């Protein structure tokens, strides 16, 4: 009989729970629920329901199934299960691990969603078998998951890998931007999908000339990183400048990460990087140009392979 583990991927909009084969990483059953309400008590109930349904579908009983691993889109104190800051959920200092554990009657292990995703990619995806890996994610947010010496590296309190919140010097002419975390001039404030779209919208409203406006047929609510990518491909000077600036910030941050940690592989994931190939190419070019030569030796850069499943697989198998 195959051994199964239960994992959860908790995002700002949905929660997804799955029973995962411990040996192969295969998702045996999965349930997704959209949050009716983002209040912690309500999300705890949604999450517990998704876990129970996924377990039942896979023929698992709680709490015999063991510890439930949860990847949360936010900064988490892994040891205590407290979510310090989850902007997409509007949470600060929520004892989510404890609340969920009480609701399920089973132990719960909380980690940052990108830490969970890095662990999933390491066990069954683009970093299989590698002991030193950095997963860098550029999507609605920006962050990293770190595997060092074969172990998930979460730092002293669980908040390692917050690449999106390293501070960057705003590009010349760009005003400092506030980040969802409440601080100013975070990398994420300039490079995440949500923040990029907000900035382009502001600049178009202020009269910037760009074919992005035509691509979204004047409906600025439809502005996205994908629209900038399309404008770039059509030679739009505004998009060229923006991608140059964004890739410079991202390439420099990843180069610093690689120089510092010397991973064997960088895995690039997240909707912005996976759906904007020209931006991804520029980031890789700038990474190659700015990384220290010694850390670049033998370094490979690969796209994430498990997609949206990485987080839930990694969470289930956190151990
Ligand atoms: Zn921040």
**Which secondary-structure segment (H or E) carries 117?**
helix 113-124
319 CB-near residues (< 8 Å, 6+ apart): none
* CA neighbor of 223 nearest in space, from 246, 206, 240, 199: 199
Say how many Å lie between the CA of residue 24 and the centre of ligand 1: 36
Confidence at residue 306, expressed as pLDDT on a 0 to 100 scale: 95
Say how many Å lie between the CA of residue 88 and the centre of ligand 1: 12
User: Rounded to a whole number, what is the distance in angstroms from the first to the last CA of the chain?
Assistant: 19
**Which secondary-structure segment (H or E) carries 45?**
helix 40-57
Say how many Å lie between the CA of residue 53 and the centre of ligand 1: 35
Say how many Å lie between the CA of residue 153 and the centre of ligand 1: 20
Say how many Å lie between the CA of residue 186 and the centre of ligand 1: 5
Contact assessment for residue 204 and residue 213, using Cβ atoms and an 8 Å cutoff: yes
Q: Which two tokens stand for residue 191?
A: 């490079």
Say how many Å lie between the CA of residue 164 and the centre of ligand 1: 6
Q: Which two tokens stand for residue 247?
A: 């890739």
- pLDDT tier, 62 (very low <50, low <70, confident <90, very high otherwise): confident
Confidence at residue 87, expressed as pLDDT on a 0 to 100 scale: 85
CA distance 112 to 119: 11
Say how many Å lie between the CA of residue 87 and the centre of ligand 1: 10
pLDDT tens for 132-190 read 999 999 998 999 999 999 999 999 888 899 999 999 987 788 888 999 888 999 999 99
Beta-bridge mates of residue 135: 145, 267
Torsion angle, alpha carbons of 177, 145, 28, 79, to 10: -100
Torsion angle, alpha carbons of 223, 224, 225, 226, to 10: -100
- C-alpha distances (whole Å) from 56 to each of 2, 9, 27, 49 are 15, 18, 14, 10
Confidence at residue 199, expressed as pLDDT on a 0 to 100 scale: 95
Say how many Å lie between the CA of residue 256 and the centre of ligand 1: 18
Say how many Å lie between the CA of residue 229 and the centre of ligand 1: 24
- pLDDT tier, 193 (very low <50, low <70, confident <90, very high otherwise): very high
Count how many Cα atoms sit within 13 Å of the Cα of residue 191 in the half-sphere of its side chain: 36
Residue with tokens 């700002």: 12
% of the chain surpassing 90 pLDDT: 87
- C-alpha distances (whole Å) from 194 to each of 17, 270, 285 are 25, 12, 24
Say how many Å lie between the CA of residue 162 and the centre of ligand 1: 9
Say how many Å lie between the CA of residue 136 and the centre of ligand 1: 16
Decide if pLDDT at 1 tops 80. no
- pLDDT tier, 44 (very low <50, low <70, confident <90, very high otherwise): very high
More confident residue, 34 or 1: 34
Confidence at residue 171, expressed as pLDDT on a 0 to 100 scale: 77
Say how many Å lie between the CA of residue 295 and the centre of ligand 1: 27
Decide if pLDDT at 50 tops 80. yes
The number of residues making up the chain comes to 319
Q: Which two tokens stand for residue 117?
A: 């995703």
Say how many Å lie between the CA of residue 298 and the centre of ligand 1: 32
């Amino acid at each position: 009989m195959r051994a199964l583990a239960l994992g959860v991927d908790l995002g700002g909009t949905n929660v997804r729970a799955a029973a995962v084969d411990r040996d192969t990483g295969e998702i045996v059953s999965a349930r997704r629920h959209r949050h009716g309400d983002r209040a912690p008590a309500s999300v705890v109930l949604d999450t517990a329901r998704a876990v129970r349904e996924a377990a039942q579908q896979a023929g698992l009983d709680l709490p015999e199934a063991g510890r439930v691993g949860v990847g949360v889109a936010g900064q988490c104190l892994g040891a205590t299960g407290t979510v310090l800051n989850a902007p997409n959920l509007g949470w600060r200092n929520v004892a989510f691990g404890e609340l969920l554990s009480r609701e399920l009657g089973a132990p719960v292990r909380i980690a940052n969603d990108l830490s969970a995703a890095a662990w999933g990619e390491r066990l069954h995806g683009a970093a299989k078998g590698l002991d030193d890996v950095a997963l860098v994610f550029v999507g609605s947010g920006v962050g990293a998951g770190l595997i060092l010496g074969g172990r998930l590296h979460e730092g002293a309190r669980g908040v390692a890998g917050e690449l999106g919140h390293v501070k960057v010097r705003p590009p010349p002419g760009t005003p400092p931007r506030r980040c969802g975390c409440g601080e100013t001039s975070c990398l994420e404030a300039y490079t995440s999908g949500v923040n990029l779209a907000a900035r382009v919208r502001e600049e178009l409203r202020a009269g910037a000339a760009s074919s992005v406006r035509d691509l979204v047929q004047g409906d600025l609510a439809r502005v996205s990183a994908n629209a900038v990518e399309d404008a770039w491909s059509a030679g739009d000077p505004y998009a060229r400048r923006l991608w140059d600036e964004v890739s410079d910030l991202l390439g420099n941050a990843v180069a610093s990460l690689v120089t510092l940690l010397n991973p064997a592989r960088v895995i690039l994931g997240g909707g912005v990087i996976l759906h904007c190939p020209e931006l991804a190419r520029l980031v890789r070019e700038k990474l190659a140009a700015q990384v220290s030569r010694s850390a670049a030796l033998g370094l490979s850069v690969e796209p994430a392979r498990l997609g949206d499943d990485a987080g839930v697989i990694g969470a289930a198998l956190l151990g």
